[in-house]
Amino acid sequence: MKVTIVHHANKPIGKIYIAENNKVKTKKDFIDYIVDNIPKDKHTGYAGFAEKVWLRRFLPSGIFAEYKGKTIPKYTLPQQELNKLITSALLKSYTTLPLAYTNVFVFPTFSNFVREQMNGSTGYTPHKNTLQLYVYPKQQRGWKEEISHTIAHEYTHSAVMNNHKWQTLLDSIVYEGLAEHFREDVVGGKKAFWSKAISSTKAKKSWQKLKPHLHSKDYAIYREVFFEDKEYPKWTGYTLGYEIFKSFLDNTKEKNWNNIIKNNSSQILEKSGYK
């Protein structure tokens, strides 16, 4: 596993771990190799999971997703380019909103959904100070920009977890909106398609339906609001979060992210005035 230390003003602020193995052929061997080579961090465990067994259970969904092949496709990750892109995004994020330390674990993903709809990368933050980045090996148009966007977005989730509990539907809606505004501010780029998946009018209608469920911790409701495209259009949660956080920024005129991150989801909602 390739390891790179990221420094800011001669101070180490994070590590990048890139998992790659072209020698194994089966899915099980591939997952076993990664889990066996993940170092344990005394604060964040194994890539954000307290026990290896939990990481072993989680990784197949991120790496293989809907991929049905029995063997691992031959692939190569652009390690040098990835290190440059991740380092740059981490430094920009850190100088705007310093965290104690950030571990970034990079895994390949063979998901066509990630390739076709996410410009080749997606991320997950399982624990504070721990980011997981999933990269489709065959680079898509705009993939470099997307890597930077994903890192900045997930970095914000880590910052939230360092300050607040993340448990409810309201938490997910607001903190996803926060993450996209942070990403735009720190690394730039256009408004993400999931942040404008539905019109403001439809977003407000969905909001009225969701109000009784805002403090729910039911994962099934979370999936309905963010991903399923049934009762709520796909990405509804992301668009709502973006709109709410935009209202928060418009109302408060706050520009200091160190101050912004001190607000929990309920405080952000209240100060947003979103109805």
Would you say how long the chain is, in residues? 275
Shared domain for 10 and 35, answered yes or no, is yes
Shared domain for 193 and 145, answered yes or no, is no
Shared domain for 126 and 58, answered yes or no, is yes
Confidence (pLDDT) at 260? 98
Shared domain for 89 and 110, answered yes or no, is yes
Using CA atoms, how far apart are residues 119 and 145, in angstroms rounded to an integer? 9
Question: Could you report the per-residue pLDDT of 144-193, keeping only the tens digit for each?
Answer: 999 999 999 999 999 999 999 999 999 999 999 999 999 999 999 999 99
Question: What is the total count of domains within the chain?
Answer: 2
Residue 73 identity (one-letter amino acid): P
Confidence (pLDDT) at 219? 94
Bridge-partner residues for 126, per DSSP? none
Shared domain for 125 and 73, answered yes or no, is yes
Confidence (pLDDT) at 74? 86
Query: What value does the mean pLDDT of the chain take?
Result: 94
Confidence (pLDDT) at 25? 86
Angle between helix 52-63 and 27-37 (nearest 10):
130
Shared domain for 33 and 152, answered yes or no, is yes
Confidence (pLDDT) at 73? 85
Using CA atoms, how far apart are residues 40 and 241, in angstroms rounded to an integer? 34
Shared domain for 82 and 122, answered yes or no, is yes
Shared domain for 15 and 121, answered yes or no, is yes
Confidence (pLDDT) at 150? 97
Residue linked to tokens 């990079």: 106
Q: pLDDT truncated to tens, each residue of the chain (275 aa)?
A: 889 999 999 999 999 999 988 788 899 999 999 999 999 998 889 999 999 999 999 999 999 999 988 888 888 899 999 999 999 999 999 999 999 999 999 999 999 999 988 889 999 999 999 999 999 998 878 899 999 999 999 999 999 999 999 999 999 999 999 999 999 999 999 999 999 999 999 999 999 999 999 999 999 999 999 999 889 999 999 999 999 999 999 999 999 999 999 999 999 999 999 98
Shared domain for 239 and 120, answered yes or no, is no
Q: Which of 124, 143, 163 is the last residue of a domain?
A: 163
The full DSSP string for 134-188 is EE-SSPPTTHHHHHHHHHHHHHHHHHHHHHS---SHHHHHHHHHHHHHHHHHHH-
Shared domain for 151 and 178, answered yes or no, is no
Shared domain for 147 and 15, answered yes or no, is yes
Confidence (pLDDT) at 58? 96
Range of the structural domain that residue 223 is part of:
169-272
Closest CA to 198 of 148, 243, 156: 243
Confidence (pLDDT) at 108? 95
Bridge-partner residues for 121, per DSSP? 135
Confidence (pLDDT) at 139? 80
Shared domain for 260 and 184, answered yes or no, is yes
Q: Which of 163, 178, 198 is the last residue of a domain?
A: 163
The full DSSP string for the chain is -EEEEEEETTEEEEEEEE---SS--BHHHHHHHHHHHPPEETTTEETTBSSHHHHHHHHHHHHTTT---SBPPP----HHHHHHHHHHHHHHHHHHS--S-EEEEEEE---HHHHHHSTTEEEEEEETTEEEEEE-SSPPTTHHHHHHHHHHHHHHHHHHHHHS---SHHHHHHHHHHHHHHHHHHH--PPPGGGGSS-HHHHHHHHHHHGGGTT---HHHHHHHHT--SSS-TTHHHHHHHHHHHHHHHHH----HHHHTTS-HHHHHHHHT--
Q: Which of 134, 163, 192 is the last residue of a domain?
A: 163
